[in-house]
Amino acid sequence: MFQEPNRIIQELQKKAQYLDKVRAFFKERQVLEVVTPLLRASTNPDPAIQSMRVDYSLPGIPKTTGYLQTSPEFAMKELLASGSGSIYQIAKAFRDGEEGRWHRVEFMMLEWYRPSWSYHQLMDEVSEFASLCFGFPAAVKISYQDIFLSTLGINPHTATSEELISHLKKGAYNRLPEPKLMSKDDWLHFILTHEIEPSMDPEKPLLLYDYPETQAALAAIKKSTPRVAERFELYFKGVELANGFQELTSSAEQRQRFLRDIRQRFDRGEEELPMDEDFLTAVDQLPVCSGVAVGLDRIMALSEGKNKLMSI
Amino acid sequence: MASYSTSEFKNGLKIIMDGYPCSIVDNEIVKPGKGQAFNRVKIKNLITGRVVEYTFKSGETLQAADVLETNMQFLYTDGEVWHFMDLSTYEQVEANKTTVGDTAQWIKEEDECQVMLWNGRPISVIAPNFVVLKVTETDPGLKGDTAQGGSKPATLQTGAIVRVPLFVNQGDLLKVDTRTGEYVSRAK
């Protein structure tokens, strides 16, 4: 770290310039910057994300358990439920065990919410944001179904796991993961990461939208045929940069999803996570809105022409 | 037998793949948004040297390989079997011609080598980076003879042949870089 002071100063200055541009973008659009707590009594039970637990004490209460946020979503939705209007935040997020070329256990997240906007409107704003702040070309929109159909000729919503495995067996893989451990969504993820992402046009950002219902996370479900999650992602050069939703506003539905997640964790013999009642109350009072989370470290690295995260 | 799960994968980890002892040479985490991670690993077969890519789902496991890299002293060879000894335990192992490979042409008795053991048996032997060997045969270099660019071949005591400067004579001790097979300098 002490060996290349010039390079480090340069990277710091570039990051500061990007952050200035991000703030200017939102100031112009009258989106309020908020700062919410990193520590929370509960956390997102998503079975694919491990939260970092913190044990700390308060006066008179020697042992309290909290979690470092895996994203500012829960705290920001509580603000939206209280009538904040459009808000954004640049915050650190923490995900245990996620370290690699495009992952850091502690990373920088930009998240913003647009009350009364549809997720399609937000997609347009995300494309504009990436262009104005990071110099990306305008993004092209394509549905999850269409990208699978055009890349492999397979409909991801109607195909079975067997059909997906059949397709993969025709490829040059030395080994496929153990089928007993793979759900249909896992096979779709495998194909997306190993075949579709590498075939994306490296010159055009892509907005992938309408994910399978089973990959909805906190997004609303469209009553179409087949049903799809009103969720989108921004990709550039094969790297996931942003994840957005038409936010779910029914606490009953959200509670069901959390219960499924908690059950999955229980089946894996994991620590039981408390149900976040404060968040569920906020979900019921949430205005119709769409929101998006952007991996700032990644988008800055790509803007600098890097093929991995920067070192500081 | 011990095993490693994907969360323990890292470069240098010794594992068994298709019955062969292997080493992980690259471990990349691939995580789709809102899904379980995959590990894309490049694995080097320690017997054949081939590097192959495999993908594992987060949570899959691989059998650990009992592979140890250790320094051992070369004792002697009869041309078929090479004998090495661990200097702290005095245990001896035997390696065949295939396992010793190219290293055979560089080592003389008492040289310390890096030996890789699988289940206690050698699967590879690496010579020290530099060795000192005596020239057993070389033509006397004639003054002014630059026909071959100022160097000539010399046979060393192990049978290895290296290119040396013209002033090198039979009986000279030379320092050789075993990684490139090149003459470095005279040795004392």
In this predicted structure, the answer to whether residue A3 has a pLDDT above a threshold of 90 is: no
- Which amino acid would we find at residue B94? E
Return the number of other C-beta atoms located less than 10 Å from residue B183's C-beta: 19
Judge whether residue B33 has pLDDT over 80. no
Backbone angles phi, psi at B108, to 5 degrees: -120, 165
Model confidence pLDDT, tens digit, residues A105-129: 999 999 999 999 999 999 999 999 9
Q: Which chain B residues are closer than 8 Å to A185 by Cβ?
A: 35
How much is the pLDDT for A102?
93
3-state secondary structure of A26: helix
Handedness of CA A291, A297, A298, A304 (dihedral sign): positive
- The verdict on a CB contact (< 8 Å) between B54 and A233 is no
- Classify B142 as helix, strand or coil: coil
On the question of pLDDT at B14 being above 90, the answer is yes
Q: What is the mean pLDDT of residues A208-233?
A: 94
Q: How far apart are CA B153 and CA B147, in angstroms?
A: 13
CB contact under 8 A, A178 and B35: no
- Identify whether the C-beta of residue A290 lies closer than 8 Å to the C-beta of residue A245: yes
Paired tokens of B80: 């078929």
Question: Is A1 a residue whose pLDDT tops 70?
Answer: no
* B54: nearest Cα among B64, B62, B43: B43
**ipTM > 0.95?**
no
Rg (CA), chain A: 20
pLDDT tens sequence across A151-189: 999 999 999 999 999 999 999 898 899 999 899 999 999
**Is B30's CB within 8 Å of A192's CB?**
no
Contact between A93 and A73 (Cβ < 8 Å) = no
The reply to whether omega before A45 is within 30° of 0 (cis) is no
Answer yes or no: is pLDDT of B64 > 70: yes
> Between chains, do B34 and A243 touch, taking CB under 8 Å as contact?
yes
The CA distance from A168 to A162, in Å, is 10
For residue B151, the model assigns a pLDDT of 87
Q: Which residues pair with B134 in a beta bridge?
A: B173
Average pLDDT over residues B165-179: 92
CB < 8 Å to A47, chain B: 36
pLDDT in the model for residue B35: 85
The answer to whether residues A144 and A209 touch, using CB atoms and an 8 Å cutoff, is yes
Nearest CB partner across the interface for A98, out of B31, B34, B57: B31
Looking at residue B142, its pLDDT comes to: 65
Q: What is the pLDDT of residue B31?
A: 87
CB nearest to A48's CB, from B7, B35, B56: B35
Which class for A70: exposed (0-12), middle (13-18), buried (19 or more C-beta within 10 A)? buried
Q: Give A233-269 pLDDT, tens digit per residue.
A: 999 999 999 999 999 999 999 999 999 999 999 998 9
Q: CB–CB of A103 and B60 under 8 A?
A: no
Instruction: State the nearest Cα–Cα gap between A218 and chain B, in angstroms.
Output: 10
